[in-house]
Chain A
Amino acid sequence: MIRVENLTKYYNQLCAVDQINFDIQKGEILGLLGPNGAGKTTTLRMLTGYLQPSSGSISIKGLSIDKHVLEIKKLLGYLPESAPLYHDMLVFDYLKYVAAIREINSAQQLPRIRQLADLCGINEVMSKPIGELSKGYKQRVGLAHAMMNDPEVLIFDEPTSGLDPNQIVEIRKIIKEIGREKTIVLSTHILSEAEATCDRIVIINQGKIVADGSTENLKHSLSSKNMIHLCLQNADFKSVETTFSALDGVESVTKVRETDSEIDVGVTCRSDSDLRPDVYRKIKETDWILLDFHQETQTLENIFRELTKES
């Protein structure tokens, strides 16, 4: 559906997006994840034809964006970050204007606007100026704008930024709902959101792709280590270290935190074996008091932090 090859964008000297490649299948919901300034928005803007790439190519449904930009714009619906809409237009007038530009014939304009108003829940603000709407409603009007011509590909730039938790859930629900038939690309820096809505995640950092795959795959492929977390009383680090280092499969023992009475220890071990029974048996032999004992699995959060931390 969408193919991106060696896409690069320079802003003067600054390289915002650096040689990225990915393919998006029809019907997929792809999450573009990355810290602030990673190049997410720039990538999406290039996909929509708003920005011109410095080099590289984008093709959507086999149409190259350099040659068929108007045809591609007809296939796309785009919601920019924070939905920049005309403040002094009424919501209804605005949607009517969009319908006209999207070349929806005048008999179908009104039913289509009603349908979208129901889907996005904006019926009660139709006769208000956009400038007076709250952020959540503005975002929904933006969503209605993006879906006006029932496009095959939808591109959302941080669709839930600045919304309250209820609105976030609602917008996600709408995205999930339309994602059953459409191809969706969305960017976010909220991991739980990507996990909840996307089939596939591409993590980018400093303009480069650092990970690409489904959420499960990402967790699996990147978690080669497990960490067992212990909180002990009546123990000193030295003896704890010697006790656990003797176990087969333990790679290192680190002190996380130490107070007068307690000590927090992290035992890093290879993920192919479960060492929890052995660790417990070792503790039983001593007179340490066990306050906390859990194994940390790699969450998307950890993977993200690992991949995008400043090197």
Chain B
Amino acid sequence: MRQVAHIFRKEFSAYFVSPIAYIVISIFLFVTGWFFFSTFFLFNQANLRTFYTLLPVVFAFVIPAITMRLISEELNIGSDEILLTMPVTHGDVILGKFFASLALIIAMLIPTLAYPLTVSFMGQLDWGPVAGGYIGAVFLGAAFSGVGLFASALTRNQIIAFIIGLSICFTLTLIDKMLFFLPQSLLGFFSYLGADFHFQNIAKGIIDSRDILYFVSVCFVGLFGAHFTLHQRH
């Protein structure tokens, strides 16, 4: 577990040494801020509904960009050979990198607390759904990070890793919006797969163990896939 902490520290600071973290955070804040406040005054409602509606789609783009380099860069420059011949396991490496990306996602969400603060000055804000939304965002971020890490382990090309990660996250986000052409019997199953469906449940302020379980399982499947892929390479 100590090794996980060392790898986490190195990966997390690597985000801030290179411009990646700054670019990703600025783009994220710009996009969410723009879409949230451009319609906020039209609706004239003191809640974060638009922000949360938008969040899964934005995450589907932003998180694969955060995770794309984590493993594929190591494979590309060959530094995995140096890393994995030190006394660490594949599991340590993957967990360390996963927590680093999750920490960056949390760092990215912190400035958005300005939105509910601003809103609370203008009207009666119900803090329950806001807190639920943030908890849900962290779980959603963890799930997408797991997926992104898996995509990153698949290839040594960061752009391909990004596109694979994006496709999976995007599919998970939109799957429950595309159910109208499916037979009735499969409907329940496919809507359960939708990340947006579970996220919106939490964002209403209802923290249901089924939704949490969904995000944890997606995250676990992603990390397990990354572990398996990395192991197969050797």
Residues of A in contact with B (beta carbons under 8 Å apart)? 45, 48-52, 70, 73-74, 76, 78, 80, 82-89, 97-98, 100-103, 142, 145
C-alpha spacing A153/B6, complex, angstroms? 24
Whether A85 and B18, one on each chain, are in contact in the complex, defined by CB atoms closer than 8 angstroms, is no
C-alpha spacing A159/B45, complex, angstroms? 67
The contact size tier of chain B is 20 to 34
B14 within 8 A of A: yes
Q: Mark B2-25, 1 if CB is under 8 A from A, else 0.
A: 110011011000100110000000
User: Given the known A-B contacts A50-B84, A100-B6, are A70 and B78 also in contact in the complex, defined by CB atoms under 8 Å?
Assistant: no
Whether A78 and B82, one on each chain, are in contact in the complex, defined by CB atoms closer than 8 angstroms, is yes
Whether B81 and A84, one on each chain, are in contact in the complex, defined by CB atoms closer than 8 angstroms, is yes
Whether B87 and A73, one on each chain, are in contact in the complex, defined by CB atoms closer than 8 angstroms, is yes
B210 within 8 A of A: no
User: Given the known A-B contacts A50-B81, A52-B234, are A102 and B86 also in contact in the complex, defined by CB atoms under 8 Å?
Assistant: yes
Total residue contacts A-B, CB cutoff 8 A = 63
Which secondary structure dominates chain B's binding surface? helix
B209 within 8 A of A: no
Residues of B contacting A73 in the complex (Cβ-Cβ under 8 angstroms): 85-88
Whether B87 and A74, one on each chain, are in contact in the complex, defined by CB atoms closer than 8 angstroms, is yes
User: Given the known A-B contacts A52-B234, A88-B17, A101-B87, are A145 and B3 also in contact in the complex, defined by CB atoms under 8 Å?
Assistant: no
The smallest beta-carbon distance between B198 and chain A, in angstroms, is 37
Whether A88 and B77, one on each chain, are in contact in the complex, defined by CB atoms closer than 8 angstroms, is no
C-alpha spacing A100/B2, complex, angstroms? 9
User: Given the known A-B contacts A50-B234, A78-B82, A101-B6, are A89 and B17 also in contact in the complex, defined by CB atoms under 8 Å?
Assistant: yes
The smallest beta-carbon distance between B76 and chain A, in angstroms, is 9
C-alpha spacing A51/B232, complex, angstroms? 10
Residues of B contacting A145 in the complex (Cβ-Cβ under 8 angstroms): 82
B89 within 8 A of A: yes
- CB-nearest residue of chain A relative to B73? A86
Residues of A contacting B17 in the complex (Cβ-Cβ under 8 angstroms): 88-89
Whether A84 and B85, one on each chain, are in contact in the complex, defined by CB atoms closer than 8 angstroms, is no
Residues of A contacting B86 in the complex (Cβ-Cβ under 8 angstroms): 73, 98, 101-102
Whether B234 and A51, one on each chain, are in contact in the complex, defined by CB atoms closer than 8 angstroms, is yes
Contact residue among A48, A86, A101 (Cβ-Cβ distance under 8 Å from B88): A101
Q: Mark B82-96, 1 if CB is under 8 A from A, else 0.
A: 101111110000000
Contact residue among A78, A97, A100 (Cβ-Cβ distance under 8 Å from B85): A78
Complex A-B: 8 CB contacts under 8 Å = A50-B81, A76-B85, A78-B85, A83-B82, A84-B78, A86-B79, A89-B14, A102-B87
The smallest beta-carbon distance between B183 and chain A, in angstroms, is 42
C-alpha spacing A50/B89, complex, angstroms? 11
Contact residue among A51, A85, A87, A103 (Cβ-Cβ distance under 8 Å from B82): A85
Whether A80 and B2, one on each chain, are in contact in the complex, defined by CB atoms closer than 8 angstroms, is no
Known: A73-B85, A82-B78, A87-B77. 15 other contacts (CB 8 A): A48-B85, A49-B85, A51-B234, A70-B89, A73-B86, A74-B87, A80-B78, A84-B78, A84-B79, A85-B82, A97-B9, A100-B9, A101-B6, A101-B86, A102-B87
Residues of A contacting B6 in the complex (Cβ-Cβ under 8 angstroms): 97, 100-101
C-alpha spacing A78/B87, complex, angstroms? 11
Residues of B contacting A48 in the complex (Cβ-Cβ under 8 angstroms): 85
Top 8 A-B pairs, shortest CB-CB distance: A84-B78, A73-B87, A78-B85, A48-B85, A80-B81, A100-B6, A84-B79, A74-B87
